Amino acid sequence: MLRNRLLFSQNDKNKSQARTAISRKPRSAHNISLRRKPKAKAKAATILPALFVAFTCVVAAGSALSAMAANNESEQTHADTKENVETHFTVIAHRGASGYLPEHTLEAATLAFSLGPDFIEQDVVITKDDIPVVLHDIHLETVTNVEDVFPARHRDDGRYYARDFTLEELRQLRVHERANSDGKQVFKDRYRGTHANFKVATLNEHFELISELNRQFETSVGVYPEVKSPAFHIKEGVDASKIVVDTLNAYGFGGESGNSFLQCFDFNEVKRIRETLGYKGKVVMLIGENDWGESDTDYNWLRTQEGMKQVALYADGIGSWLGHLLDNKAKAQGEIEAAAWIAYAHENNLTIHPYTFRHDLLPAGMSSEQVLEVLDKVVGADGVFTDHLVPVLRWREKLN
């Protein structure tokens, strides 16, 4: 998912013909499907103390909101049979347990597994020798000491690209907490150790780890890989999406019954994953801001009624930035209301998994529970990506 961003601030004939193999099932503990929840709104004064102030002052405060979803009993029709099922708020470990250990390391994935999320996320980039590795960026300098080990291996833009290094070379690097361009930690209170030798790991290693832990503990934690910068990789001569799909299938995570979601910020690539690669598993269209440079997708258009209809031809769900979830005009009138596009997503039976809940970037004056509760009731999201599993899992446990 994306680098740190301020939250709630400015701080594809029809679907059954396009993908008849994709079935939608009632949501249960570890098998996510889609539900429709009416858009709700409430006077700020009746929801939470200082809610409106918190939402409208996020930029000035430099804070960030996150995570939402739903957890109550609902009736849904499936295969012409009506049955009662417990709705399930899906918890996704964002880059592993990245709030506690350096992101995307095997250690962070192991800690995340031990805490009991539904899915663990893996961002995937491809090495010089065409091996998928788990890194949030196509660049290395923000999370490794590449500039110390290979000082002359940057491109003309001054950045170090994973695609320019073999796996053997990447193994020589030490992974550290995400840093800004000035070398300071993005999240200053997170892991501060300097001696642990965290390493870049392959996608195969991550999938094997989760598969083996699932086997031994008789659990079913799923995987949630993202194809990073697919257009960049195509220009580099490698099909990143095919590599990820092949790896999902190799470890039993792919396909209609696979316990996974495959995500991407590039709408053309989402279409290609369905039409060219013929992938039948669950796919999520990630939505950001146009100026983030994630792809040439027009995210503003995606968040229209027609845009959501087109997304629903290819994707099972939406992974939206939290800053897109609330209606700014409603806030100006003293109300907290979901943005209009949320209703379009629900109308098209799209799962909504927003990103990213961070316990260390909450809006001023609000607790984790308040943020989760408000966003659940107003937005009706189906789950959340989170750096901090503990507060989200505790909140979900109370609901159950």
Catalytic residue IDs: 94, 136
d(CA 74, CA 163): 47
d(CA 244, CA 224): 11
d(CA 223, CA 213): 13
**207-232 burial by CB neighbour count: b if 16+ within 10 A, else e?**
bebbeeebeeeeeebbbbbbbbbbeb
d(CA 249, CA 232): 24
Q: What letter would DSSP give residue 299?
A: H
Question: Rounded to 5 degrees, what are φ and ψ at 168?
Answer: -60, -40
Query: Per the structure block, which two tokens stand in for 242?
Result: 């095919």
Tell me the pairing of strands 282-287 and 317-320: parallel
Rounded to whole angstroms, what are the CA distances from 55 to 149, 335, 340? 43, 11, 18
Q: For the chain, state the CA radius of gyration.
A: 20
3-class DSSP assignment, residue 108: helix
Question: Residue ranges of the alpha helices (H) in the chain?
Answer: 15-18, 44-47, 51-56, 58-61, 106-115, 146-149, 167-170, 203-217, 230-235, 240-250, 267-275, 299-302, 305-314, 328-332, 340-347, 368-379, 389-399
3-class DSSP assignment, residue 174: coil
Identify any residues that bridge with 81 across adjacent strands, giving them in sequence order: 78
Spatial neighbors of 43 by CB under 8 A, at least 6 apart, are 334, 335, 336
Answer for the pair 243, 126: CB distance below 8 angstroms, yes or no: yes
User: Residue 51 carries which side chain, given as an amino acid letter?
Assistant: L
Q: DSSP of 233-249, one letter per residue?
A: HHHTT--HHHHHHHHHH
